[in-house]
Amino acid sequence: MKLVLVFRSEDADILKPGGAECLRTLTTDFERLGGWKRKRLSSDQEVWLCPSETNPADEEWERFRKGVSSRVETIAAALHASAMADQRQIMKKKLSELFNNVDVHVDLFSKSGDVWDCFSRLMVKIADERARGQIFEELVRLLMVPSVMRNLRNLIHRLQTRLGPISLALDGLTECDFLTEEAMHVADDFRDGKARKRFFEAQDIVYGKGRGEESLGDLIMKVQDRFSPAARRIVQEHWERLKTLLPNREGYAEWNRDISQKDLNAVYGNQPRIGEIVEAIGDREKIQTLKSKFRNRNPFREWLGELDNACDCLREAIEAELR
């Protein structure tokens, strides 16, 4: 059994979600054969990237034929939907001509679609269920895991950078005992709901905002089925802790307008103390009311430290299971 996945190489930058990062990782270890790039997954599984030309020259096809083992039984080719309308049939016809008695399948994936859906459709066409499972698991390990770990770290970093500036500004106010002049500077820096906007953006990184961008929650849902029951429980515990510290807002989607107490409750959930700080830091009158609540300590930093710890524990649990 042999599986060969063939992409046009320029598609490597537009596969998503996760595909671009996956294939950029893959291409660093590829063996070049003329315009082709080949990576051996095992003794009977390979991934190929074809030349950037929509229709490779005859000599390039000949290199491909010679490079693929004579034992090949199945070739599954994935092409991006931006290819010419007849490219799917051209690819299937050419592969069938090059390899007699070989089961050839060609499928398409869209720029906004998921390359893994395309892989799944191709896998179904592999008759041997055990081989199909082994091939797909190997592809997931090779393509998906590096991307997931990179995306996970990126999401957590983005979350921390959204909330960090608020904490740093409050550290400065705590050190100067909320000196009026400094407090006014901070209030002006965060005026017009800028701190609330950062809090909203942090929530969107964790829970998503319905615009097709992968959230931390999306990533966890994507990988948790691969975990053992014990690992899944550990990840879920850390995930629930994170959600408690940074609850999702309910039914309230605008950050840049006046907000009622009812809406405040919907935004900040079980973290009203943090909500009070976020709402006050950009208001010249309200910011002075924070002085009595700080008293040589920064409760926002303490909360953010707990949130950072929850993120780190979640990341470590996921990475430990993926390695």
Query: Would you list the DSSP string of 270-307?
Result: T-HHHHHHHHHTT-TTGGGGGHHHHTTS-HHHHHHHHH
Write down the pLDDT at residue 145.
60
| Residue 85 pLDDT | 53
Using CA atoms, how far residue 62 sits from 34, 35, 67, 68, in Å, is 10, 11, 8, 10
CA distance 18 to 130: 26
Whether a cis peptide bond, with omega within 30° of 0, leads into 165 is no
Please name the residues in contact with 62: beta carbons below 8 A apart, sequence gap of 6 or more.
none
pLDDT for res 168:
94
Backbone phi and psi for residue 289, each to the nearest 5 degrees, phi listed first = -70, -15
**Cα–Cα distance measured from residue 170 to residue 280, given in angstroms and rounded to the nearest whole number:** 11
pLDDT of residue 282: 93
| Residue 101 and residue 74 in contact, taking contact as beta carbons nearer than 8 Å | no
Beta strands 45-50 and 36-42 are: antiparallel
Block means of pLDDT (10 residues each) for the chain, 323 residues, are: 54 43 50 76 68 69 79 69 62 80 68 51 57 56 62 89 94 92 95 91 86 81 81 93 91 63 78 92 92 89 95 90 72
C-alpha–C-alpha distance, residues 320 and 323, integer Å:
6
281: its two tokens: 């830091």
Q: What is the rounded CA–CA span in Å between residue 257 and residue 234? A: 39
Entry field: residues in the chain: 323
Q: Hunting for tokens 């949130």 — which residue is that?
A: 307
- Please check whether residue 33 is in contact with residue 51, taking contact to mean a CB–CB distance below 8 angstroms: no
Is pTM beyond 0.95 here? no
Q: What is the pLDDT of residue 111?
A: 43
Query: Going by C-beta distance under 8 Å and a sequence separation of 6 or more, which residues neighbour residue 204?
Result: 213, 215
The whole-number pLDDT of residue 102 equals: 78
DSSP 30: P
Q: How far, in Å, CA of 51 to CA of 35, rounded? A: 5
- The alpha helices in the chain, defined as continuous H runs, are 19-27, 58-67, 87-98, 115-124, 129-139, 145-175, 180-189, 194-207, 216-223, 229-245, 261-268, 272-280, 291-294, 299-322
Contacts of 223 (CB under 8 A, 6+ apart): 148, 318, 322
The pair of three-digit structure tokens given for residue 164, joined into one six-digit string: 């960090």
Beta bridge partners of 107: 78
Given the structure tokens 């009622």, which residue do they identify? 260
Q: Please say whether the beta carbons of 246 and 203 come within 8 A.
A: yes
The pLDDT of residue 188 is 95
Contact 11, 80 (CB under 8 A): yes
